[in-house]
Amino acid sequence: MTRKLSLLLGLIVFISFILTGCNSNNNEENLQANNSDEIIELTDMVGRKITLERPVERVVAVGSALRLYTYINGTNKLVGVERGQQSPDTGRPYIIANPDLQELPIVGEGFPATPDPELLIEAEADVIIAGDIVDIGEIEDLEKRTGTTIVVITTGNEAVFDKEMYESLKIIGKVIGKENRAEELIEYMEDCKTELMELTKNIPQEEKPSIYIGGLSYKGNHGIESTYGNSPVLDAIGAKNVADEIGKAGSIMVDKEQIIEWDPDIIVIDENGLPLVKEDYEKNPDYYNGLTAIRNGQVYGQLPYISYYNNIETAMANIYFLGKILYPKAFENIDVEEKADEIYEFILGKPLYGEMAEIFGGYIKINLNK
């Protein structure tokens, strides 16, 4: 009897030990889960390890970060803005779509990003999301002076479909708890990229007209000499960009006589530079009339997409317009104005083509004589 009692007591002690251990493990797991729910850990676009406390409710986005932020969250949670990113007169779609930006407190002048430490302190942000500020020393100094964590992102090097821009969208989504919206944006952009590839993949190279895009902005507005080599916008539809012959990627200022030598089939003028082109035409009509595209009436205007870095949604809309004028048969079922509104609405929440066209001119054929 005594032996049975001892065995029973031993069994009770053993079971109690097991249960206690399980509860301890569960408590540790719950504690870790709770800690994980309260902490955001990420690596920003300059490789800095960032830790933030949830929830992030007050945000300042400076530089090119504001554009990407509005793609994900409009003006929600924003508690400050740079003065240079308030006025719709800039023609930047993310500002036109978000008039509330005009009501936010100023945290700096902007353009380029020059946040004021004292104004940032007054904003009492939980986090500052900074776009395209790559000087680590400047970032760390601003963090020390404001006491606010800075997360650095980038719009990337390409106007459209840029992998670093996608990563930046994911970072913003993680910071403000909008991961799903970030993924939706990336998926939509990639779907557009795929659609454009499908529309153009079977067009023989010899049937493609040559094209030159002039008047592109780069740190200001320029005339017809300003173009872009290896343009992601034109590459997305496999276009014959005559400027690629230079062998340089990015913004290029070409000699006007080089354009005569190329003599492209189609000329597109970015509407930021159109007034300068018209002014130059009045001074030197013989030069312009020496171009086949101008004599044949193959000159078009596109919405400007370069303003304080790239306005990605406008660049995407432009690709469909360029596809329509280069390959009308392949794009016969695409209404470019409707597609532009679809893109603006998905990315910025509002169909903006009409407003953009009213400001700049829209997708039109241009007669430099008028």
Which stretch of DSSP H or E encloses residue 345? helix 336-348
- 106-128, pLDDT tens digit by residue? 999 987 778 899 999 999 999 99
Q: How many CB atoms lie within 10 A of CB 249?
A: 15
* pLDDT reported for residue 369: 82
How many separate domains does the chain show? 2
Q: Give backbone dihedrals phi and psi of 150, rounded to 5 degrees, phi first.
A: -110, 130
pLDDT band per the 50, 70, 90 thresholds, residue 189? very high
One domain for residues 215 and 91: no
One domain for residues 184 and 243: no
Give the domain extent around 282: 202-365
By C-alpha distance, which of 210, 196, 182 is closest to 315?
196
Which sign, positive or negative, has the C-alpha torsion 68, 74, 76, 78? positive
Is residue 18 assigned to a domain? no
Is residue 161 assigned to a domain? yes
One domain for residues 47 and 178: yes
Spatial CB neighbours of 110, under 8 Å, sequence gap ≥ 6: 62, 63, 82, 83, 84, 85
- 336-366, pLDDT tens digit by residue? 999 999 999 999 999 999 999 999 999 999 9
Q: Give backbone dihedrals phi and psi of 299, rounded to 5 degrees, phi first.
A: -120, 130
- 267-309, pLDDT tens digit by residue? 999 999 999 999 999 999 999 999 999 999 999 999 999 988 8
One domain for residues 172 and 60: yes
Is residue 116 assigned to a domain? yes
One domain for residues 174 and 226: no
Is residue 194 assigned to a domain? no
pLDDT band per the 50, 70, 90 thresholds, residue 244? very high
One domain for residues 247 and 347: yes
One domain for residues 237 and 276: yes
Peptide bond into 264 cis (omega under 30): no
Is residue 256 assigned to a domain? yes
Total residue count of the chain as it appears in this document: 370
As a whole number of angstroms, the distance between CA 15 and CA 252 comes to 78
* pLDDT reported for residue 33: 37
Q: Which is higher by pLDDT, 71 or 134?
A: 71
3-state secondary structure of 174: helix
CA angle (189, 363, 131) in 5-degree steps: 40
Is residue 47 assigned to a domain? yes
One domain for residues 96 and 239: no
Give DSSP secondary structure letters for 113-158: --B-HHHHHHHT-SEEEEES---HHHHHHHHHHHT--EEEE---SS
One domain for residues 141 and 244: no
- Strand order from edge to edge, sheet including 127-131: 106-108, 78-82, 59-63, 127-131, 150-153
Is the confidence at residue 136, as pLDDT, over 90? no
Paired with 128 in beta bridges are 60, 150
* pLDDT reported for residue 56: 97
One domain for residues 211 and 178: no
One domain for residues 174 and 207: no
- Domain final residue, candidates 163, 188, 213: 188
Is the confidence at residue 29, as pLDDT, over 70? no
**327 DSSP assignment:** -
Q: In the structure encoding, which two tokens stand for residue 329, read together? A: 């048969």
By C-alpha distance, which of 166, 188, 271, 161 is closest to 224?
271
pLDDT band per the 50, 70, 90 thresholds, residue 184? very high
By C-alpha distance, which of 143, 151, 147 is closest to 172?
151
CATH number for the domain that contains residue 246: 3.40.50.1980
As a whole number of angstroms, the distance between CA 200 and CA 180 comes to 31
Is the confidence at residue 13, as pLDDT, over 80? no
User: Roughly what angle, to the nearest 10 degrees, separates helices 312-326 and 179-200?
Assistant: 10
Residue listed under structure tokens 């079977």: 202
Amino acid of residue 151: V
Is the confidence at residue 167, as pLDDT, over 60? yes
Is residue 11 assigned to a domain? no
- Domain final residue, candidates 188, 213, 244: 188
- Kindly state the average pLDDT of the residues 35-53: 90
Is the confidence at residue 20, as pLDDT, over 60? no
As a whole number of angstroms, the distance between CA 1 and CA 10 comes to 14
Q: In the structure encoding, which two tokens stand for residue 139, read together? A: 């970032």
One domain for residues 213 and 326: yes
Spatial CB neighbours of 85, under 8 Å, sequence gap ≥ 6: 66, 92, 95, 101, 110, 111, 308
As a whole number of angstroms, the distance between CA 188 and CA 193 comes to 9
3-state helix, strand, coil in the chain (%, to 5): 50, 15, 30
Is residue 24 assigned to a domain? no
- Domain final residue, candidates 153, 188, 223: 188
